[in-house]
Amino acid sequence: MRRPEAGLPYNHRKMRSYPYTVDNGHGERLMFTGVTRGPEGERVLAEGLARPGAGPPMHVHYLQDEAARVVKGRLGYQVLGSAEQFAGPGELVVWPAGTPHKWWNAGNDELHLTGWCSPPGNVEFFLSELFTSTKANGGGRPALFDAAFLTTRYRSEFAMIEIPAVVRHVVMPIMYVLGALLGKHRKYRDAPPPIASNR
């Protein structure tokens, strides 16, 4: 098991040894398996398992390309404003940076995916904390102050499109400030800084 290297960005240095798994308590498990460097740049690698019907809501990675290859099962996916599509074993789906999309297990058995995000940015930290909070909160959604921290601090990198715009742009920032005043963000004192976007 290799440890993340000291020269990598903060988010990789502070993470656990690879591989490690996070579970959202709502039918999704995500295993981060490492970071690679190649001609296309850095990629964080992962494997995912999802029970039937499980998957993330409509979301966007503003700074990262995301890819998923089906190992077993049936993947349903949709780009905002487009028809639903499906992929089976061996098929690869790539969502370029800035593409709002969602995916789900469209089959009757567990869905097994491998995939990557490039460049890694803060995706590993963001998803690990989101999954951990969701599981601790009963598996339906992350705790409010955690969601406010993650979606506000990292808004240059990620957005949950299914959350109404007024909630994303007004309510969550207010809850972010309130959470800071109430000490709810102490556990995030070592959180990596957000990455600036050219959007």
Domain ranges of the chain: 10-118, 123-188
Give the pLDDT score at 140: 83
CA 81, 103, 13, 120 torsion-angle sign? negative
Residue 13 has pLDDT above 50, yes or no: no
Q: What is the pTM of this model?
A: 0.89
Which residues are CB-contacts of 68 (< 8 A; sequence separation ≥ 6)? 48, 75, 77, 87, 92, 93, 103, 113, 114, 115
Amino acid type, 178: L
Check if CATH label 2.60.120.10 holds for domain 10-118: yes
Instruction: Give residue for tokens 């989101």.
Output: 130
- pLDDT in the model for residue 196: 84
9 vs 36, more confident: 36
> pLDDT tier at 1 (50, 70, 90 boundaries)?
very low
User: Which secondary structure element, helix H or strand E, spans residue 134, and what is its range?
Assistant: helix 123-136
